[in-house]
Structure 1
Amino acid sequence: MNHEAILNVLNSLEVIEQQGGEDSYILVANNEVNRSRLAAVGVPAEKMVYYGDDETFCILALAFGERYADEFVNGYLIKWGPIDDSLRYRVLNGDGTAGDAERLLRLLEPDLFQQSEEEQASPA
């Protein structure tokens, strides 16, 4: 599955409503045009219903829930690139962002994040 193509489509959809902060969401119309554009890049229609309803769906929840994106920066969903020396040195020197540190930690300690993600996915 081409995450870059999916993110290009998600980032191009017209936003109906959005909210930032702890309860963030970005809603787009659940219509034939949006469903067909996402289906063309490999996103099943069931996913849009899972992350919304008959009228709208949340592209933020879709992108993070299906791991199409790793971060939302300056109005765009993005997928992190490979871990390289530049990233390592930024984190080691204290010049990196919290996102940089998380990327490195996810690579070095995947079990920490896998457990957390499993806990979030399981019903309470």
Structure 2
Amino acid sequence: MATMFDDRAMGRNTGFAKRVSSHLAAALVVFCLLQIFIVAKMGGSLVLHLGIIVAIAGFAIAARGLERRWQMLERGGLSQSGLRVRFRRDLLQLWGASILGALLWIPVAIIFRTLFG
């Protein structure tokens, strides 16, 4: 709380960390729903559903790391243009990872079905 008031007193914009947190929450929801939908459509077994839990836990841990990174970046004193460039790059990577990561279940489910029926 004190850091927030110090940042406002120094005239810094504190919006990037909050915006990243909002995108992280939305990306996690999309990641979860895509995984569940894909595994359900592919005839998922209990093992694949347990894999979803592990994947979601890994995503959540990585998301917390990204959130901490943005909290540190905002305190680092970078210019707004430098923060904007990093913000766009991180959002592109975040959404790419959440969508493509969920789509990786398609080949896994196909291989699993081929091997174990």
TM-score normalized by the length of structure 1:
0.24
**Greater strand proportion:** 1
Larger helix proportion of the pair: 2
Q: Which has the higher contact order (CA 8 A, sep 6+)?
A: 2
